[in-house]
Amino acid sequence: MTGGGGGRRVITRRWCEGDAWHSGGVDESDENHQAVHLEIADELLTFLPASRRRVRQRVAHDGTSTVGHIVEAVGVPLPEVGPLTIGGTRVEPSHRPQAGDLVRVAVVPRPQAVPLENGQEAPRFLLDVHLGTLSRRLRLLGLDTAYHNDMDDPALVVQANEERRVLLTQDRGLLRRRALWFGAYVRGTRPDDQLRDLLGRFAPRLRPWTRCTACNGVLLPVGKEEVEEQVREGTLRSYDVYGRCEICGQVYWRGAHGGRLEEIVQEAERTVASVTNFASP
């Protein structure tokens, strides 16, 4: 992993890759350079180095760089970028701007649509190695969530692409990988904030209590008599509905962890409902 922080360090490395900026990058004082202007949405400024965190940016332009390349070179990962417009006209990231153009860079719209296959209810996710707590919460909500604590960047991209999973990460470098089909930056340091951010972004259909939080397996309903040997007598007396993970065999019952998980589920449902209602006409 290259680490989540250090936006400045990442930018510096980008400039060294011999792209359009290598001979000086952003140089607001040098009028000899042709320039393109960016107007960056407030929500995206967090990706810029602190010293350059301004909505308006004047960037040197060699006439051949694409809009996507220019936006990424100032630090904003393309998966976080919404519509790009020049003079009110939508342009693709592959568009080559003219000197003097003003490019408006919007944040990705919420809720953001994810391409789903036939019969697929909600996006599938793959979480970067540092997001273990978030992965368990997404599984609690019934979202198909792959997570391993030992995968390197190339392996993450391969699995995300092969299984059409949205790769969730706090590593900006990972989001810049061209091969990645769909990625998203997770905002927040606390799992509560991270979960709210993701639910607000994707507003996925939730199926709480249907998935194993340990391994992501689907829970199959089982009768009380089938779990007698695996759960305590007191539990058997108190609960009637059980599920067993189809993969690892772990037995679950509602209320197993007190009210905290119920709280997480209820707040998640409220968050998704608020985004969905807001998005409806």
Nearest CB to Zn ion, comparing residues 215 and 275: 215
3-state class (DSSP) for residue 37: strand
Q: How far is residue 44 from each of residues 51, 75, 103, measured CA to CA in Å?
A: 14, 9, 14
Nearer to Zn ion, 9 or 257 (CB): 257
Q: Is 86 left (phi over 0), alpha (psi -120 to 50) or beta?
A: beta
Min dist. Cβ of residue 220 to Zn ion (A): 11
Q: Output b/e per residue, 269-278; b: 16+ Cβ within 10 A.
A: eebbeebeee
> Parallel, antiparallel, or unpaired for β 56-60 and 89-91?
unpaired
Residue number with CB closer to Zn ion (35 or 215): 215
Identify whether the C-beta of residue 68 lies closer than 8 Å to the C-beta of residue 36.
Answer: no
Exposed/middle/buried for 145, CB within 10 Å: 0-12, 13-18, 19+?
buried
**Least distance from C-beta 121 to Zn ion, angstroms?**
20
> What does the binding site for Zn ion look like in residue numbers (CB under 5 A)?
212, 214-215, 217, 245, 247-248, 250
* CA gap 204, 215 in Å, rounded: 20
Q: Using the structure block, give the residue that is written with the tokens 């904003």.
A: 76
Nearer to Zn ion, 129 or 215 (CB): 215
The alpha helices in the chain, defined as continuous H runs, are: 7-15, 67-73, 132-140, 153-162, 172-175, 191-202, 233-238, 259-279
Query: For residues 157 and 219, which CB has a smaller minimum distance to Zn ion in the complex?
Result: 219
Estimate the crossing angle of helix 259-279 against helix 132-140, to 10 degrees.
80
Task: Report, in Å, the least distance between residue 37 CB and Zn ion.
Answer: 52
Closest separation in Å from C-beta 256 to Zn ion? 14
Q: Give the residue with the Cβ less far from Zn ion, 116 or 231.
A: 231
Nearer to Zn ion, 91 or 126 (CB): 126
Minimum distance of Zn ion from residue 172's CB (angstroms): 32
Least Å distance, CB 214 to Zn ion, is 5
Cβ closest to Zn ion, residue 122 vs residue 219? 219
Contacts 24+ apart (CB under 8 A), 22-29: 24/60, 25/59, 25/60, 25/73, 26/52, 26/57, 26/58, 26/59, 26/60, 26/74, 27/60, 28/58
